[in-house]
Amino acid sequence: MVTIKISPSILTADLSNIGKTVGELEDAGADSLHLDVMDGHFVRNITFGPAFIRSIRKITKLPLEAHLMIEDPDMYIEQFAESGCDSIIIHRESHGNTLATLRRIKEGGLKAGLALSPETGLKASMDLLPEIDMLLVMTVSPGFGGQAFIPECLAKVSEARRYFAGKGLEKEIGVDGGIKLDTGRLCIEAGADVLVAGTAIVDSGNIKEAVRSFKALP
């Protein structure tokens, strides 16, 4: 049986209260924390950077995954690695040599993830797939929490799962954007094993119950 991991995104959390929220997520059984880094160029939103992640590192033992929605990820890999992240996810659509950046992440001893925006197919990334630890299929356009799930992205999840199975590769497939209980279930059926959920957990009013419901999904 596949184990499903829940990785809450704190994108919409109240940062004046972030210590309490992170504590609640950890107590609720979250498997990791998903940290959405946005630069105002790659996406229209601006969030936080390595200094913030360093502060989060001090208050939790949960694995931290940095989802870099920035134009030039290669320039910042060392800073994010030093901030205490356990994994770094970069976008296929960012500037630079994606393969070289993924290898730099791995050389630093971190896990490397590759994110694909909804309009990006899998085909142009086939050569990268054996190199990564996690494929993150975006199920909304990156930039903002609380958007509606795009069902057409499910086909990419199935395609990737078939590809990995065919090659005997054990890789994680995450989904990110508009993940609620119903859309999460569809993603699991398509082959996802990591659910990133922001508003459905952090804005639910009951973090413990929300994480419990997601973990009961399969």
Q: Which residues make beta-bridge pairs with 5? A: 194
Binding of Zn ion at residue 65 (CB under 5 A)? no
Report the number of secondary-structure helices (H) and strands (E) in the chain: 8, 8
| 140: partner contacted, choices Zn ion, ligand DX5, none (Cβ within 5-8 A by kind) | ligand DX5
Q: Of 36, 41, 29, which is closest to residue 11 (Cα–Cα)? A: 36
Nearer to ligand DX5 (CB atom), residue 50 or residue 177 = 177
Question: Cα(100)–Cα(210) distance, rounded to whole angstroms?
Answer: 38
Q: Of 99, 132, 92, 145, which is closest to residue 115 (Cα–Cα)? A: 92
Nearer to ligand DX5 (CB atom), residue 190 or residue 195 = 195
Binding of Zn ion at residue 5 (CB under 5 A)? no
Binding of Zn ion at residue 91 (CB under 5 A)? no
Binding of ligand DX5 at residue 73 (CB under 6 A)? no
| Residues contacting 158, CB < 8 A, separation 6+ | 190, 191
Residues lying near ligand DX5 in the complex (CB under 6 A) are found at 9, 11, 34, 36, 67, 140, 142-143, 145-147, 176-179, 196-200
Residues lying near Zn ion in the complex (CB under 5 A) are found at 36, 67, 176
> Residues with catalytic annotation?
36, 176
